[in-house]
Amino acid sequence: MASADDAPILAVRGLTRRFGGVIAVDDCSFALTPHRVWGLIGPNGSGKTTLFNLLSGVLAPNAGQIVFKGQNVAGWPSHRITALGLGRTFQITRLFHGMTVLENMRVAARAADPARVAARADELIEFVGLNALRDEYAGNLSYGQQKLIEFMRILMTEPDVILLDEPFAGVNPVMENKLVDLIHTLLAQGKTFLITDHEMRLVMSLCERVLVLDYGHLIAEGPPAAIQADERVIEAYFGRRRSAAPSPPTPLPGGEGSSSGPLSQGERAGDEGIRGPLSPWERAGGEGASRPPSGSREE
């Protein structure tokens, strides 16, 4: 018998989005069960950010359903989806630069009581150690600090599901560790995450299950170990093998047999999916790597 935790909190059915002749998301279907960290990976241009934009209401789909907490929210404006409990961050931070850190937090607050809003904002700002900057303009913060504040700002909306679009991009290791710790803390509080990032080491260590997009299609879904061994995923990232002779699949980042770093995120997190700090592209080069690692297609 399925437990309550197995009932999906967010289910996508036949989701499609076209831009002119380009089908950015093509008939995607999947379901996210709650209280888990889900990963969404795929080469550049595979449609990850478009999918995030569809889920969060920034874009309306051409077809398909997005069922969140039992309601089809496809085509809803973002603020209604946010009010229902789905929050997101952006690939490139979108803080309100002309407003202070505290104002950025206050503007997102769902609570009406100003005292409660101020207390919650202070609590979150302090949580990421930026209380000294609470009255500073957000535009004056470093990029890593902006990432943290954008994350905290979403928490002011009291979301149940949080979409993180490349949370580790351009973030230094100290901030990276902070973000990972934060995700674990919030996970323990019952939040559900969908994370997309090119930092495979972290994605594989954090996520219990991973979805893989390629050219807008969902080509694989499963636990990190299975994803790393999946031929379709390997092909999506590294291209079709030139040689007809069978050879062992090139391990994906963090896959079996890759070298292990001094203390990887996965080891800290106790996840078997993580193996080492080398990027996939560093280890995958040479034969079979017919698709460039990044930049070949625009998101």
Partner 1 sequence: MSAIKLQPPRLALSPRQATLLLAGVLLVCLALPFVASAYVVSLLFLLFMWVALASSWNLLSGYTGYVSFGHAGFFGVGAYAAAILIWRLQWEWWLACLAGGVVCAALGAAIGGPALRLRGPYFAIALLGLSEVGRIVAVVWEPLTRGGLGISLPPTAELLPDYYAMLALAVAATALVYWIANSKIGLRLLAIREDETAAEVVGVPTTRYKLLAFILSAFFPGVAGGLYAWHVSYIDPGAVFAVSISVRTIASAMFGGAGTVFGPVAGALLLNLLAEVLWVRYPFFHPVLFGGLIIVILLVMPGGIVAVLQQRGVLPRSRRL
Quote the least distance from Cβ 299 to partner 1, whole Å: 15
d(CA 144, CA 263): 22
163, 128 Cβ separation under 8 angstroms: no
Q: Could you list the residues that contact partner 1 (CB under 8 A)? A: 56-58, 77-80, 82-83, 87-88, 90, 94-99, 103, 106-110, 129-130, 132-133, 135-136, 140, 145, 153-154, 156-157
d(CA 78, CA 81): 5
d(CA 154, CA 33): 20
d(CA 168, CA 166): 6
Cβ closest to partner 1, residue 186 vs residue 219: 186
Cβ closest to partner 1, residue 118 vs residue 225: 118
Alpha helices in the chain (DSSP H): 48-55, 78-84, 101-107, 114-127, 143-155, 173-188, 200-206, 224-229, 231-238, 265-269, 280-284
Quote the least distance from Cβ 21 to partner 1, whole Å: 25
Residues 6+ apart with CB under 8 A from 153: 95, 104, 105, 107, 108
Cβ closest to partner 1, residue 16 vs residue 78: 78
Quote the least distance from Cβ 110 to partner 1, whole Å: 7
Cβ closest to partner 1, residue 68 vs residue 90: 90
d(CA 90, CA 92): 5
Two tokens, residue 214: 């390629």
Cβ closest to partner 1, residue 76 vs residue 238: 76
Quote the least distance from Cβ 146 to partner 1, whole Å: 12
Q: Which of 192, 253, 208 is nearest to 261 (CA)?
A: 253
Quote the least distance from Cβ 171 to partner 1, whole Å: 15
Quote the least distance from Cβ 81 to partner 1, whole Å: 9
Cβ closest to partner 1, residue 126 vs residue 282: 126
d(CA 61, CA 18): 8
Q: Which residue has the tokens 């920034």?
A: 58
Quote the least distance from Cβ 209 to partner 1, whole Å: 25
Task: Give 263's strand partners.
Answer: none
> Residue 274: how many CB atoms within 10 A of its CB?
26
Cβ closest to partner 1, residue 141 vs residue 278: 141
